[in-house]
Amino acid sequence: MAAEIRDQGGRARAVACDVTRTSEIQGVFSTLERCDVLINNAGTNRPQPFLEVDAATLDELLALNVRSMFVTAQAAARIMARRHCGVIINMSSQMGHVGAPNRTVYCMAKHAIEGLTKAMAVELAPLGIRVNSVAPTYIETPMTRPYFENETFKQDVLRRIPLARVGKIEEVVAAVVFLASPGASLVTGTSLVVDGGYTAQ
């Protein structure tokens, strides 16, 4: 992606790190003079029935889906505070607004991100930093593709989405671009739900 941006005349630098390691996150941000926008987008899911959730799954999802997002946002906000401006966008999910079977840990983690977003927005507003979340429905990605190979699962999902289709990556990107833009200058502490109506019923 960095090469593609450079090929089109832009400037980009790719840095790899393990976001579950606080020291690595802090190391990356220590090299930045400024941070205008953070898109906090690390996460995963491992569906399991509640009674069968193992400790390793619980720990992994909380470390990646919650703790790493907190630490990354904190590191970015510290830089943004120097210039008294910035935008943080936490990637949530429609599951941060509802519950679902076999997704207790994921729902718990995404509800935590929604709460974190609101609390950060209130606390960081005096520093000129806006904080919002984007909460997509099922999106066509490599992570969701195996689920949709199950026809029963696929039809159940489509039945629950009033627009009767899963989302595209470009539709999530559009929501992120809006929240990062001056057009959303009065928007903070909220969740932009991109779910085809899933949570409206």
Which residues are part of the catalytic machinery?
106
User: Length of the chain in residues, anyone?
Assistant: 201
- Which of 136, 145, 129, 33 lies closest to 87 in space, CA to CA? 129
- The torsion of the CA quartet 62, 65, 70, 71, rounded to 10 degrees, works out to 90
Q: Quick check: 14 and 2 in contact, CB under 8 A?
A: yes
Helices (H), 33-88: 55-62, 68-83
Q: Quick check: 40 and 69 in contact, CB under 8 A?
A: yes
